[in-house]
Amino acid sequence: MTDRQPLGVGMVGYAFMGAAHSQAWRTVGRVFDLPVHPAMAVLCGRHAGNTAAAATRHGWAAVETDWQKLIRRDDVQLVDICTPGDSHSEIAIAALEAGKHVLCEKPLANSVAAATAMTEAAERARQRGVRSMVGFNYRRVPALSLARRMIADGRIGTIRHVRAQYLQDFLADPQLPMMWRLDRERAGSGALGDIGAHIVDLTQFLTGEQIAGVSGLTTTFVPERPRADGSGQYARVTVDDAAAFLARLTGGAMATFEATRFAVGRKNAMRIEINGSAGSLAFDFEAMNELQFHDHTESPDTGGFRRILTTEPSHPYLEAWWPPGHGLGYEHTFTHQMRDLLEDIATGTDPAPSFADGLAVQQVLDAVERSAADRSRWTEVSTP
């Protein structure tokens, strides 16, 4: 496959995620050596005018207002789903059945049932050579890819603790108006599904283990918010503002998780620390170009957490970027995601995270919610 036969991408949705994906599609072939190049073929949105403006802005060649038409277009080989979670399953299953590769933003779906159906559709499609990936973009932070590699190489030994937090503060003001992210129908859950999902996926990705059981607690600090229409009326918040849970991994480790949008001063503090028998790793997305590593096999005399600046040519994805010390930003997690997906499509490899990985996350979140609803009772995570 050469540049003369690029892979046509059709993207559904153009809000925050759509902007980030567009920038990645535009950039990936300029930075990485790709076996197949993407063509930004079609952007799909409900409102024709807005969609056309967004397409011009972000560089998409055509527009559609009906995702079913998008799926049927010959110039689209890959469907990129950037809509809220309640529409994921319908679009993704239809696209896969139409033989289109699918990249679906997280969470995979708002329910285990929907995620299961999607995973089954992905499995059927896979047998026909159609690829699918769920967009847990943080796996592609170089520091976290490096962490995965180090853990797989045994650098920290047997995992004993995971300590993961995703802290934001944008809801701390009780006068902030209602939004779709606070509506269970649209969003599925609150902090738990929106940001907690990332740290669940990362834990399973980094450790290579599964979360086996949980004890959960959720809370809604601000149960009503002013409607965004300026009517002066209030709407009920139907999701959690914050969620926390204890867990055990399949390998015996103990884990703690917390996701909140009320930690004032923490803007996007997605943090994970993993302690093993032979070392520890720690990461905070607010310093995304750094990985902290403690090698417990060293002499105590000179041991300590070291700050690896993950900008060396030998670090994941860095072979294509700038010299050491010249950091990357948030958007590049998507560039890396597109790189890997395009390589997988070209080489016939199953992408990761798969829909099954997305379903596994959903099952953990579901167990947390069931536990939280049942006085934090220990709850086993279902397995497919």
Specify the stretch interacting with its own copies by CB under 8 A; choose among 43-51, 69-77, 78-86, 250-258: 250-258
Residue 79 Cβ, how far from its own copies at the closest point, in Å? 21
Burial class (CB in 10 A: 0-12, 13-18, 19+), 153: exposed
Residue 280 as a binder of its own copies (CB under 8 A): the answer is yes
Can you name the residues that pair with 64 across neighbouring β-strands? 44
Q: How far is CA 230 from CA 14, 178, 279, in A?
A: 25, 10, 53
Residue 315 as a binder of its own copies (CB under 8 A): the answer is yes
Q: Which x/- pattern, by CB under 8 A, does the window 336-375 give for its own copies?
A: -----------------------------------x---x
Q: Rounded to whole angstroms, how far apart are CA atoms 119 and 281? A: 31
Residue 289 as a binder of its own copies (CB under 8 A): the answer is yes
Residue 210 as a binder of its own copies (CB under 8 A): the answer is no
Residue 176 as a binder of its own copies (CB under 8 A): the answer is no
Residue 294 Cβ, how far from its own copies at the closest point, in Å? 3
Residues 37 to 66 in contact with its own copies, rule: CB under 8 A? 56-59
For 65, how many CA atoms within 13 A lie in the half-sphere containing its CB?
Answer: 8
Residue with tokens 């050579």: 129
Specify the stretch interacting with its own copies by CB under 8 A; choose among 61-69, 118-126, 175-183, 319-327: 319-327
Residue 166 as a binder of its own copies (CB under 8 A): the answer is no
Burial 56-84 (b: 16+ CB within 10 A, else e): eebebebbbeebeebbebeebbbbbbbbb
One of 41, 197, 328, 381 touching its own copies (CB under 8 A):
328
Specify the stretch interacting with its own copies by CB under 8 A; choose among 70-78, 118-126, 306-314, 358-366: 306-314
Residue 323 as a binder of its own copies (CB under 8 A): the answer is yes
Query: What is the 3 state secondary structure string of 225-284?
Result: EECCCCCCCEEECCCCCEEEEEEEECCCCEEEEEEECCCCCCCCEEEEEEEECCEEEEEE
One of 14, 138, 285, 317 touching its own copies (CB under 8 A):
285
Four-residue CA torsion sign, 381, 197, 245, 153: positive
Compare residues 22 and 362 and give the one whose CB is closer to its own copies.
22
Angle at 71 (CA atoms; ends 67, 76), nearest 5 degrees: 120
Residue 57 Cβ, how far from its own copies at the closest point, in Å? 7
Compare residues 204 and 310 and give the one whose CB is closer to its own copies.
310
